[in-house]
Amino acid sequence: MLKSLKRIAYQVEDLEKAKQWYCNILNTQPAFDSPFAVIFIVGDCSLSLAKGKNPLPENTERIDVYWEVDDIDAAFAKLIENGAVSHTPVKAALNIRVAKIIDPFGNIIGLTGPAADVNKRTVEEQPSETAMSVAFCRALAFKEDREEIKGPDYLAESFLKDEAKKLLADANSRKWAIQNLVTSPLYGYFISRTAFFDSIFENALKENIPQIVFLGAGYDTRSYRFADKIKETKIFELDIRPTQQYKIEKLKNAGVKIPGAVSFVEINFKTDKLEGVLSKSGFDKNKKTLFIWEGVMYYLAEEAIDTVLSFIKNNSAIGSSVCFDYMTEKLESVNAAEPFRFWIAKDKIEAFLSEHGYKIITHMDSNEMEKKYLTLKNGSPAEKALTRFCFIHASIFK
């Protein structure tokens, strides 16, 4: 029933001091870093440091240890049946579920598992959970009180389920969600990513580029937020059927008018060929095109990435370009149904793209994201950004 240790949390009084100590001990930087919590990836396990009073009263929890299980409801029930006592009932925490029990000897045991049966949660079976998480972060950003980093996506909330919408209700619940479900660096990253891709998309519309292709559109709303700036540009939104159908349904429910320039194109990037799918939808390979590949690359195997980059190069006019975000080091996805499959070091991405026929226009790391998108008017940082992800805008050379 218990598979392996998955998440360990320590309480510390001086978070910054503890972070530096564990950086030295583990010889690595944290995967997530915020004023409230720091998370390290150690093998297949995550180690969290959270602020707490020190010293703590006797018998107060000083450590949370979570065992990974396949079926958290069954595991929780079995432990209770065998004499354990409920400490914290099973509850959802974004893409996972957690619970705690007290064993017959007074020890507190944490359990962690997927939100549902992984086999039923693949993107082939139901709408993407990672796309929903991104929409949640965009909805949080739109509610921001700090104008400098306030997000522009007023439609993101349309895709959320009622439970997630409740967390947007007031500033305290939003703050709790950022600290406990998202983390500051991930939140800052999504704010930056939205701004980066927004600017490229808007500039393409200003230039009246003939075509824009979203490779894995998810719950992207640019075609609707910038609808008044679309002139002659044709827009193709590609995604897998369950996610795309859910998106169309929610847009209609929200009363959003879908521009005539937009074509929804169903595709399974694992099995379908881009050329065949796009050509049937009216895509013209002889016209200049912007390809937007946001939040997709790290979920694909290298072979699939090679195929996409080759397609873009061989089926686009001179002046076409692609923008995407990528992961620089191996990390574990929080969603077991959508694991990370690709990463490449920052100092190797230029050569990698050059080999595929691309020249970098813009390359932005976390430090640059924070300076450009996450700095308040007084010069202080509003949020951090994930350190192991970068943005790229690259043009095709023939």
Q: Which pLDDT value is given to residue 224?
A: 97
Per-residue pLDDT, 58: 46
CB 244 within 8 A of CB 264: yes
**pLDDT tens string 2-59:** 777 767 777 778 888 888 888 887 788 887 777 777 888 877 777 788 776 554 444 4
Instruction: Quote the pLDDT of residue 33.
Output: 76
Q: Which domains does the chain have, with CATH numbers?
A: 4-120 (3.10.180.10), 183-396 (3.40.50.150)
Give the pLDDT confidence of 94-106 residue by residue, as tens digits. Answer: 567 888 888 776 7
Cα–Cα distance for residue pair 77/276, rounded to 1 Å: 50
Query: Residue 303 class from Cβ within 10 Å (0-12 exposed, 13-18 middle, 19+ buried)?
Result: exposed
Amino acid at 353: L
d(CA 250, CA 160): 9
**368 class by beta-carbon count within 10 Å (0-12 exposed, 13-18 middle, 19+ buried):** middle
pLDDT score of 21: 81
Q: What pLDDT shows up at residue 92?
A: 72
Q: Which distant-in-sequence residues (6+ apart) come within 8 Å of 216 by Cβ?
A: 238, 239, 269, 293, 294, 295, 296
pLDDT at 47: 79
Burial class (CB in 10 A: 0-12, 13-18, 19+), 83: exposed
pLDDT tens by residue, the chain, 398 residues: 677 776 777 777 888 888 888 888 778 888 777 777 788 887 777 778 877 655 444 445 555 677 788 888 888 888 888 888 998 888 876 567 888 888 776 768 888 887 665 445 566 667 788 888 899 999 999 999 999 999 999 999 999 988 889 889 889 889 888 877 788 889 999 999 999 999 999 999 999 999 999 999 999 999 999 999 999 999 999 999 999 999 999 999 999 999 999 999 999 877 888 888 998 999 999 999 999 999 989 988 899 899 999 999 999 998 999 999 999 998 777 665 678 889 999 999 999 999 999 999 999 999 999 999 999 999 999 999 999 999 999 999 86
φ, ψ of residue 218 in degrees (nearest 5): 55, -135
Write down the pLDDT at residue 119.
Answer: 44
Distance CA 201, CA 286 (A): 20
